[in-house]
Chain A
Amino acid sequence: MTSAGGRLPGDGDRGSERQWRAGSRPTDPTSWALTALGVAGLSVAAAWGTLAGVRGALVALKQSGVVADGLLLLFGILASCLLLPALRSLQVAGKARTALAAGDVIGARVAGASARGLAWYSFGFAGALVLILLVVQFFIANDLAVSRTFFLLPLIASTFGLVLKAFWTNVYIFIVAEALVLIWGLVIALARLAPGPAGRPIRAMATFYADVFRGLPAIINIYLIGFGIPLTGLPILRDLSQESFAILALTLTYGAYVAEVYRAGIESIHWSQTAAARSLGLSYMQTMRYVTVPQAVRRIIPPLLNDFIGLQKDTALVNVIGTIDAFNQAKIIASNHFNLSPVMTVAILFVVVTIPQARFVDKLVERDQRRMRAGGT
């Protein structure tokens, strides 16, 4: 580094003064391993206890048999596998102790890290197992009261068709509303971004609209439109179906949300893209249409899905104007049978329809990024 004779300040005798701090002695991991074994043992015992409880419940329901017992046994064995990493941890901790005794610092460090890793592995899985056991306990508690209230299978089976049929009303409402929201939201976003002094009144109107409809609870909006418009007696409007009122109300509410998503997306496109487009002679609107909005849309697909899922769930609010949607239908059945299981059917249906959408959006984003590699600059 320095030429002969040329010493940098502080150079030399560095080796004797400075200590190699990273080389301190590794600690013994045995206590970690023992704790892991204890936690795993308790969790496994709890698992067997819960399985015994489930078996008791099955016997009471006259659903027990060889298949059920076999399944329970399988779950028990699976839960018992939790002991394996803990035992392995103890074994590796023994190696670490031996290495430590022999003065092999590196060997002890490697074995110690491995033992601690295995111990953490046991903690993680034990935690998950305990959570699952708590849920199961909740369902079998009080002589299966929870299960009977929410998941009365015979009732679910006999009313599933009715509820599913009513669910199509929700699906119809949200599909039409989503299509309209996509257009309406973009219109509002572009209005909020209208340029120049001439655009000021348009910007102000659009901002006012977004403020009002984001602040107004969807349920009140649906109520006002669904009951109010027919009362006004306005031609054409008063003759619309209840579903149409629901679609109108949800489009107005979610249009305001989606406009904000669009606006954030458009504003996130770097101004250099606009500069490049304008410098080629493209007009403001052409720049929006061919350069800014297409890039913005790619970016906003994930947050857009959030709003769409919100919209889908809010179709359950149309029961306030008496539309027979899945929730309303299920409520009617539930009060007839004095049991909430049909409402659980609706709950599950709502969750189930969103999952493929989430995966679809993941795929869409992934495909787009793969095609453009970095996904835009």
Chain B
Amino acid sequence: MALIEIRDIHKRFGEHVVFKGLSLEVAEHQVVCLIGPSGCGKSTLLRCINGLETIEAGEIRIHGDRMTGPGVDVNALRRDVGIVFQSFNLFPHMTVLENVTLAPIRVLDRQRTEAEARAMTLLKRIGLEHKALEYPDRLSGGQQQRVAIVRALAMGPMVLLLDEITSALDPELVSEVLAIVRDLALEGMTMLLATHEMGFAREVASKICFLFDGRVHEEGPPAEIFGAPREERTRAFLRRIIEAGRL
């Protein structure tokens, strides 16, 4: 059984139709990469899965439980589904440690000492334990994004959604963030990534989904999508990526 099942979802922003019957499955321990032209709905899809956006039709199931529609406890859903944003979105008025421990303490009712010990273990893993008492603005973009990943991990999520997490970073800071994602993939974390880092997608993804025209236009293993795409649109998109020197 797939961990995330997205069935025939529809969504629009006013006149602009984002999804017209998009379906997608993510199995446990899979790393699925969403690629596609900008505005194709990669970020919106992730935000829908996390309940930050609503859908008009279709359904999203996580762990077999329906997570859209009336009566769903989105707060409970979000405990199990972590999301990391393009622009980090750390809380600027809190230290790194407070950023990481806020949700465990307030949402999971953990003891402060316990939450802090766990946060420090996670920060140590990404080599930022010495920044625990700093404020986010004193950290580089790459460091902030690593903290944001740890903040999501501190809730012990079953799934991690990563929304173009390296797009806002200077090129030399991208690798430190991707290294963490790579480690998480090796540990078997189920992840759904929206990304423009095609080389990275090819390396870590179990499955690539090309989003176009409100649906998954083509999906398959990286070797197939990048090596021999069947659809003309996919080929055109990848051609442009190659022309831009990004693959």
**B-contacting residues, A260-279, CB 8 Å:** 272-273, 275-279
Residues of chain A contacted by B47 (CB below 8 angstroms)? 275
Type the 1/0 row for B80-108, where 1 means its CB is closer than 8 Å to any CB of A: 00110101011111000000001100111
Tell me if B75 counts as interface (CB < 8 A to partner A): yes
Q: Is the CB of B93 within 8 A of A294?
A: yes
Residues of chain B contacted by A286 (CB below 8 angstroms)? 106-107
Among B87, B92, B103, point to the contact of A280 (Cβ < 8 A): B103
Residues of chain A contacted by B135 (CB below 8 angstroms)? 371-373
Among A272, A277, A281, A298, point to the contact of B87 (Cβ < 8 A): A272
Bound Cα distance A62, B238 (Å): 96
Tell me if A282 counts as interface (CB < 8 A to partner B): yes
Q: How many contacts between A and B, using CB within 8 angstroms?
A: 73
Tell me if B151 counts as interface (CB < 8 A to partner A): yes
Tell me if A4 counts as interface (CB < 8 A to partner B): no
Q: Is the CB of A280 within 8 A of B85?
A: no
Residues of chain B contacted by A294 (CB below 8 angstroms)? 93
Also in contact, A372 and B137, with CB within 8 A (given A272-B85, A281-B75): yes
Please name the residue on chain B nearest to A289 by beta carbon.
Answer: B106
Q: Is the CB of B89 within 8 A of A275?
A: yes
Tell me if A290 counts as interface (CB < 8 A to partner B): yes
Residues of chain A contacted by B79 (CB below 8 angstroms)? 281
User: Nearest chain A CB to B127's CB is how many angstroms away?
Assistant: 22
Among B76, B85, B107, point to the contact of A276 (Cβ < 8 A): B85
Also in contact, A272 and B103, with CB within 8 A (given A278-B78, A280-B152): no
Bound Cα distance A23, B81 (Å): 66
Q: Is the CB of A280 within 8 A of B76?
A: no
Q: Is the CB of A281 within 8 A of B91?
A: no
User: Nearest chain B CB to A266's CB is how many angstroms away?
Assistant: 14
**B-contacting residues, A327-377, CB 8 Å:** 371-377
Residues of chain B contacted by A295 (CB below 8 angstroms)? 91-93
Q: Is the interface of A mostly helix, strand, loop or mixed?
A: helix
Please name the residue on chain A nearest to B144 by beta carbon.
Answer: A377
Chain B interfacial residues counted at CB < 8 A: 28
Tell me if A291 counts as interface (CB < 8 A to partner B): yes
Please name the residue on chain B nearest to A295 by beta carbon.
Answer: B93
Most buried by B among A280, A291, A376, A377: A280
Q: Is the CB of B93 within 8 A of A281?
A: no
Also in contact, A377 and B106, with CB within 8 A (given A280-B78, A295-B93, A372-B93): no
User: Nearest chain B CB to A278's CB is how many angstroms away?
Assistant: 7
Question: On chain A, which size bracket covers the interface?
Answer: 20 to 34
Tell me if A306 counts as interface (CB < 8 A to partner B): no
Bound Cα distance A280, B103 (Å): 6
Residues of chain A contacted by B82 (CB below 8 angstroms)? 279-280
Please name the residue on chain A nearest to B161 by beta carbon.
Answer: A279
Q: Is the CB of A281 within 8 A of B76?
A: yes
Tell me if B50 counts as interface (CB < 8 A to partner A): yes
Among A279, A290, A377, point to the contact of B50 (Cβ < 8 A): A279
Residues of chain B contacted by A290 (CB below 8 angstroms)? 102, 106
Among A279, A291, A377, point to the contact of B137 (Cβ < 8 A): A377
Please name the residue on chain A nearest to B86 by beta carbon.
Answer: A272
Residues of chain B contacted by A291 (CB below 8 angstroms)? 91
Binding site for A on B (CB under 8 A): 47, 50, 52, 74-76, 78-79, 82-83, 85, 87, 89-93, 102-103, 106-108, 135, 137-138, 151-152, 155
What are 29 contact pairs spanning A and B, CB under 8 A? Answer: A273-B91, A275-B52, A276-B85, A276-B90, A277-B102, A278-B74, A278-B75, A279-B52, A279-B152, A280-B78, A280-B103, A280-B152, A281-B75, A281-B76, A281-B79, A281-B155, A282-B75, A282-B102, A282-B103, A290-B102, A294-B93, A298-B93, A371-B135, A372-B135, A373-B137, A374-B92, A374-B137, A376-B93, A376-B137
